[in-house]
Homo-oligomer: A and B are copies of this chain.
Amino acid sequence: MKNNIPNRVVNQMFENDDFSKWLGIEVAEVKEGSCELKLTVREEMTNGFKIAHGGITYSLADSALAFASNSHGRKSVSVETSISHTKQCLIGDVITAKAVEKSMTNKIAIYEIIITNQQEEIVALFKGTVYRTSKDWF
């Protein structure tokens, strides 16, 4: 069923994904062109100031980009990403990345990913551009 493609793709990408497991990423939702992922900040994710390293928020958003862009069933690879860290994340904070498709052509798609904490405050803004290959997942 066509409707199952987003979930089948994400399940296959997530399987054996050791770093996402280490991060404790949970997939809250996946649809065609969008997804929502969560993780909880642990002490081993923090820098010397005991706030989450910028790489943690980036990693969550980058996974959201990969899942949202591949959810159409076409293999897609990241071309350019940018992130602005707007608020600190502390140990115990639950951060959520919501990916939304802003533009899609045959070859290129662009996603905005907003990362919020459990108070729904924005902690980071991410933009990602992918190249859509001509290979299908299934």
Residues of B near A112 (CB, < 8 A) are 112
Chain A contact surface mostly: mixed
Known: A19-B56, A55-B59. 11 other contacts (CB 8 A): A12-B48, A19-B53, A19-B55, A22-B44, A53-B62, A53-B63, A55-B56, A55-B62, A80-B80, A125-B127, A127-B127
Kindly identify which residue among B20, B46, B82, B108 contacts A19, using a CB–CB cutoff of 8 Å: B46
Q: Is the CB of A125 within 8 A of B102?
A: yes
Q: Which of B17, B59, B127, B129 contacts A58 (CB 8 A)?
A: B59
Of all chain B residues, the one with the shortest Cβ separation from A46 is B18
Within 8 Å CB of A107, what residues of B? 131
